[in-house]
Copies of this chain bind each other. A is one copy, B any other.
Amino acid sequence: MSKVKATITMSLDGYAAGPSQSTENPLGIGGEQLHEWLIPLKTFREGHGGEGGEVNASTPIAEGILGNVGATIMGRNMFGGGPGPWGDEPWQGYWGDEPPYHHPVFVLTRHAREPLELEGGTTFFFVTDGIDSALTGARAAAEDEDVSIGGGAGVLQQFLAAGYLDEIVVSVRPILLGGGARLFDNLGKPPPALRQVEVVDAPGVTHIRYVRAS
Write the residues of chain A forming the contact surface with B, with a CB cutoff of 8 angstroms.
Answer: 12-14, 170, 172, 174-178, 182-185, 187-196, 198-201, 204-206, 208, 210
B178→A187 contact, CB < 8 A: yes
- A182 contact set on B, CB distance < 8 A: 14
Looking at A12, A188, A190, A200, which has the most chain B CB atoms within 10 Å of its CB?
Answer: A12
Q: In the complex, which of the residues B172, B176, B185, B189 contacts A192, with contact meaning CB atoms closer than 8 Å?
A: B176
A177→B191 contact, CB < 8 A: yes
B172→A178 contact, CB < 8 A: no
A174→B187 contact, CB < 8 A: no
Q: In the complex, which of the residues B12, B189, B196, B200 contacts A174, with contact meaning CB atoms closer than 8 Å?
A: B196
In the assembled complex, the Cα of A175 lies from the Cα of B199 at a distance in Å of: 15
In the assembled complex, the Cα of A31 lies from the Cα of B119 at a distance in Å of: 50
- What is the CB-to-nearest-CB distance from A185 to chain B, in angstroms, rounded to a whole number? 7
